Amino acid sequence: MTYDTDALVIKAQNTGENDRLVTLLTRKYGVIRAFANGARSPKNKNASATSLLCYADFTITKTAKGICIVKESTPKEVFFSLRSDIIRLSLAQYFAELSGELAPREEAADEFLSLLLNAVYLVSDSGKPLQLIKAAAELRMLSLAGYMPSLLGCASCGIYETDEMRFCPHSGKLYCADCTPPEVFVPVPNSVVHAMRHICLSEPGKLFSFRLSDENLLLLCDLSERYLLAMTGKRFATLQFYKTMTR
């Protein structure tokens, strides 16, 4: 069986003497793991395309035993400017790790791959605040993976919005002040509620097109991260590293 698809390398591990085991987010088949024999040799034809965070066209064959092997590859974008900025690189690596957790497997991942590519592109080469890109990528990836928070109104009485809504990062539910349960809930200004709705519901091309004050951006970033950690129940090494670098 042969796969022909474009993909972003979301993980690259050394294996054997000179080989790589890559995890790819492919457009046509979702997340795939494949061996690239000899790819750590600089002269190898697959050396560039199988590097972490390289976007490329791949031809992959699957053996009778179910092992995938990279046969051909043509790099399309290596995000060169990322490589010289450790903070931006670590954020892009976090998006890659997140994709490995949340992206589809053995089914098409067109929208997920486009989202990841846009996020990595914006991190590498735009003036947008990194907190905005991070929160938008997190919430949108969660939404695509079936964890969209319930943002269309108070989870109890259904009112669309009041002056002081509250968000529960453990359940993803929104409440008005009258209905807020006794647990710890975070007051959320309407501008942040609007930004969260925009992230979850906008057309893909407009996802990153919103603005917030610095203070509200920090709140959005904190809420989206807490919600993500609650939904995935995971610790992401790349997120820890990014946060260490930006502390």
Q: Which of 135, 104, 95 is nearest to 9 (CA)?
A: 95
**Least distance from C-beta 159 to Zn ion, angstroms?**
5
CB of 178 to Zn ion, least distance (A): 5
Segment interacting with Zn ion (CB under 5 A) among 18-26, 106-114, 135-143, 175-183? 175-183
Q: Which are the contacts of 194, defined by CB distance < 8 A and separation ≥ 6?
A: none
Q: Segment near Zn ion (CB under 5 A), from 75-83, 109-117, 119-127, 172-180?
A: 172-180
| Sign of the CA dihedral with 201 first, then 107, 61, and 93 last | positive
Binders in 48-87 for Zn ion, by CB under 5 A = none
Q: Give the CA dihedral 119, 123, 127, 131, nearest 10 degrees.
A: 80
Span 123-162, contacts to Zn ion by CB under 5 A: 154, 156-157
Out of 10, 36, 53, 176, point to the residue binding Zn ion (CB under 5 A). 176
Q: How far is the CB of 119 from Zn ion (least distance, A)?
A: 34
Length of the chain: 247
By CB under 5 A, name the one of 78, 108, 179, 229 that touches Zn ion.
Answer: 179
Amino acid sitting at position 47 = A
Please state the closest distance from residue 228 (CB atom) to Zn ion, in A. 25
Residues 216-245, interacting with Zn ion (CB under 5 A): none
Segment contacting Zn ion (CB under 5 A): 27-35, 59-67, 109-117, 168-176?
168-176
- At closest approach, how far in Å is the CB of 157 from Zn ion? 3
Which among 127, 124, 125, 147 has a CA at the least distance from the CA of 199? 147
List the 173-176 sheet strands across, edge first. 173-176, 165-168, 186-188
Rounded least distance, CB 161 to Zn ion, Å? 10
Number of H helices, E strands in the chain: 6, 8
The size of the interface with Zn ion (CB under 5 A), counted in residues, is 5
Contact 18, 41 (CB under 8 A): yes
Binding residues for Zn ion, rule: CB under 5 A, are 154, 156-157, 176, 179
